[in-house]
Structure 1
Amino acid sequence: MVTLPHTPDDIRAPARDRAMGALSGAAAATALVGAGPDLLTRFLAPEPSPVARAAHLTRTALEGTGEPSADPLERAWVEVLRTLVRTGAAPGRADALEHAPSEDPLGVSWRALARTPVPDHRPHLGSFACTHLVDTVWAAYTTAGDLAAVYAGALAGARWGLSAIPLQALRVLSETVDPHVLVTDALTRADGARPDRWPRASVLVGEPRRLPPFAVPHPLDPQVLLGNIDHLRAHPDSVDAVVSLCRTHPSDAPHLAPVDWIRVWLHDSPEVNTNLHFTLDEAAAAVAALRAEGKRVLLHCWAGASRTPAVAARYAAAGLGAPVLPALTLLIRTVGGHLDNPSLARAVARLSGHDLPDPARSLFPEGVPPRRADLPDPRTTG
């Protein structure tokens, strides 16, 4: 197994985001370049093929045991991916890959990762550093085609994490494979099998984490419900599609078509969301895309009190044209939410070009309203 630099039980650690990003990034590359489902099917299949070899090397890197083969390029590529997952940064040199033949997919993927410029992170201008992932995949694809793109997706996914993969690509992916399968595969290989814990087991099902089902209409779009995970479980027929902002399990919504369930890697804790602006923007865009398809949407997190109003406010600003600061105030009041994690409100405001150093004072100058009665202690998050 990869020795991840964090407390083993801290699922929020960025290294776990990166471990999931490696396998999911390789698979999502097929969607990003429009390769069609056949390439993804071969990537996932046990039968030997060049693209199945890419899956094998990615899994080998996550497991961290032994060498993949006697091939020096494969060994070098696996070590680069391991380093990316552990540290979030590529090694300074990878000579074997740097000097690989011009069309070799492993060398192409490394050179694409290393040479593709990282975009300036200017969220108020719609520019996010983590879109380097997509740029890397396209650079590899342009140079050497589908297989190079898959290898590049693994490296860039390990660099930037699952949270940097565009949600539309994951939605396309879900037509062939449940993204939860890839998450489970990656974390099992990186951390070992833990059948009683997420992602193999459902979460937030016992006290004090089980909450009464809760949902209210978005005040600016009543066809969007704002709620918690227990509403998803208790009222499966209340909506046509779901955007989940907390960890979920297939058993939470077995009735949903995979393309109608968009799962977002977002935590309700400061300093752990490495691609926070991009993730919030993508989640809001996912709500807008589902609404454009005429679907009634549930936007939820664990409690429906922090992540949910943040994304709902970004949807209001970017999708409905509402001013962002009044939208934040309105949405937090609507769900009876809170500002226990002010980094979410700051990021939503920044996406619209506003600095918000003290969200509580700016949004609620007369005092933050009382939190919903069923909400847990502020120290307990989902």
Structure 2
Amino acid sequence: MLGQLKPQPEDAIIELMGRFKADPRPDKVDLGVGVYRNAAGETPVMRAIKAAERALWDSETSKSYTALAGDAGFHNAMADLVLADSVESTRIAAAATVGGTGALHIALELVKDAAPNATVWASNPTWPNHPPIIKRTGLRFAEYRYFDADARAVDFGAMMADLQTAQAGDIVLLHGCCHNPTGANLTLPEWQQVAALLTERGLIPLIDIAYQGFGDGLTEDAAGTRLIAAQCPEVLIAASCSKNFGVYRERAGVLLAIAADGPTRNVTQANLTALNRLNYSFPPDHGARLVTNVLNDPALRADWEAELEGIRTSMLSLRTQLADELRRLTGSDRFGFLAQHRGMFSRLGATPEQVVALREDHGIYMVGDSRMNIAGLSTDTVPLVAAAIAQTGI
């Protein structure tokens, strides 16, 4: 049996990490892997998470199972963080998951059970893991145009034109904020138009929100998601705690499913519980409990929000510094989009050949579509990276 398996291609980002590690150059810069790094190049444990972990160490008396859908306190804390009061709590079903990726898997399995003939529409481009996850479930996959590569901005007209062709009951996968890989986000008026189109055509939004707090702020980054939740009768939301709480390896995520009414919510909750049971019986609890404790403790939450704001403003400062340095070196404003985009990522607009040249000639590592991780920069490396970009003729 095992001899019939087909070789699998190595993940492009993991392969890039290997190349970077093997590169002996002392001035190399990793802009590939999607984790936050501080000025020292470290991915730190956030202060509030460390404090919550100490408190849990002292207070936890058992490692027994929680519930199949995870701890209700985590559900409630995350629903409040993402949705606030935009939708009645009686309409929200929830399941703790293995990170945001696990939430996407459970969401798509729920779709497969409820609407097996639905097509899932994702932006072009999107997070590279989205299409294979969708296809693996056996659901139909389609793309809507999203990014104008020449303007380095959202092509909203093309997006809306493509979604006009979607059929009632289809799923529309949206990035809640900090679009990965482009960093180009919808404006609030555009979110309003998307909500109107979804409602008019009977489309179901699936929102992947992995970077809340990394863009314009916790509330601002959730504004589009909350608007959709307030206007659409059914919404699926996959939320990750990896980035904004820094608990990458703890795999803390949640799927929130908004139903049209209470009875449908109850049936949905039962189905989420059953899907968790089939996939991994009980979801991991440690990271989820740390997140819950931070969100529910006023002092810890205030410290977390302050540190998260520092992370956000640091990335904005790096964006501005890089855009300014490129303007100085090239005498052009063509890189001004870097300061306008939000979150960890932007697409530089380099060709695959130029990406190779950046890596081989300058030790600047980014993925082949020229997605660069802004958080991989520092104030010291920005001039090096800008000089390499200018010399490569991008």
User: Normalising to structure 1: TM-score of the pair?
Assistant: 0.30
Q: Which structure features the higher share of strand residues?
A: 2
Q: Which has the higher contact order (CA 8 A, sep 6+)?
A: 2
User: Normalising to structure 2: TM-score of the pair?
Assistant: 0.29
